[in-house]
Amino acid sequence: MAIPDYQTLMLPLLKLVAEAKAPVSVRSLIEAIADEFNLTDDERAERLPSGQDNLLLNRMQWARTYMVKAGLIAAPKRGLVQITPRGMALLSEGLERIDNATLSQFPEYIDWLTAARDPTSRIKKVSREPKVTADDLLAELGLLVSSSEPSTTPHERISGAVAELESALQSDLLVRIRQMTPSDFEALIVKLLLSMGYGQGLEEMAEALGGTGDGGIDGIIHQDPLGLDRVYIQAKRYKDGNNVSSPDIRNFIGALNIQRATKGVFVTASQFTNDAKQAAQSSTVQVVLIDGIQLTDLMVRYKVGVLVRSSVEIKEIDEGFFN
């Protein structure tokens, strides 16, 4: 089954904390939670879109945060939690589910949500009548996700938004790349590899050789000052649908053999056919293939042809400061 959302994790997490009888870390309960939901090894290892955190653990930690704010769980020591009398009382009711709507009965939880945004700018005046639920307030905060989708944690929403923005950016990059001249495309590939750390990142360690009579080599990056270790480049700015085929790869491998080279990078703005990939894999020379999607991913990652328009800092407790 899919990894449960953080609200679905609230009740089983609260039960495990209660069964522990003593303060326990959320991280130590991850395997028990994974077993309860029969998660596969891949699901247990799944990470946020940012790749920074384990997805299941992140959702468990946010379930913990919400229940701490509602007074169901206390944090007596760093990294540890234990159930409170309020949490025990709620468990005794035999609820089938604990979620934001359940937590909204506790004033401390509503107060915490209210303080999450500037009440004068983002939140309308909300009465403290029983009809106001956590979902009402989350909707006011702009944090409520579609009811047709699993609820997600703030980290997931941020990571998902960043991934969506980068996907759109990569599509735009691919359009721009395919409009470049062949020589500009070759220069782009050289600049990208230098930005990735090849040739020690120094422009003088790279050569762009594209043009007639280039011998099937569009660029060279020297890995050391004496040129004893070199990376040879072939760059094909093909349009979408005009895929690189196996003859192109074999010709590149032949050019590498003439140069007595051991490393080559073949980059295209389109894709590679399966035969082309097989030709590269079966070569005695190490050949790395980079298609249009991988190219734009690397450009975004190493900030080549893109600018950082804005950034968001996500802060957390500095445990070392409080030790």
What CATH code is carried by the domain that includes residue 251? 3.40.1350.10
Residue 164 lies in a domain: no
On whether both 129 and 189 belong to a single domain, the answer is no
Residue 158 lies in a domain: no
On whether both 16 and 130 belong to a single domain, the answer is yes
pLDDT band (50, 70, 90) for residue 37: very high
On whether both 134 and 222 belong to a single domain, the answer is no
Q: For residue 114, what are the β-bridge partners?
A: none
On whether both 128 and 190 belong to a single domain, the answer is no
On whether both 21 and 148 belong to a single domain, the answer is yes
On whether both 135 and 260 belong to a single domain, the answer is no
Residue type present at position 172: D
On whether both 127 and 235 belong to a single domain, the answer is no
Residue 286 lies in a domain: yes
Is the whole-model pTM more than 0.75? no
pLDDT of 272 higher than 90: yes
Reading the block at residue 24, the tokens are 């326990």
Residue 1 lies in a domain: no
The residue-averaged pLDDT of 81-100 equals 94
The count of structural domains within the chain is 2
Residue 320 lies in a domain: no
On whether both 145 and 264 belong to a single domain, the answer is no
Domain hosting 54: range is 6-152
Among 115-129, 213-227, 308-322, where is mean pLDDT lowest? 115-129
On whether both 127 and 188 belong to a single domain, the answer is no
Q: For residue 54, what are the β-bridge partners?
A: 47
- Beta-strand (E) ranges in 179-318? 206-208, 219-222, 230-236, 263-268, 286-290
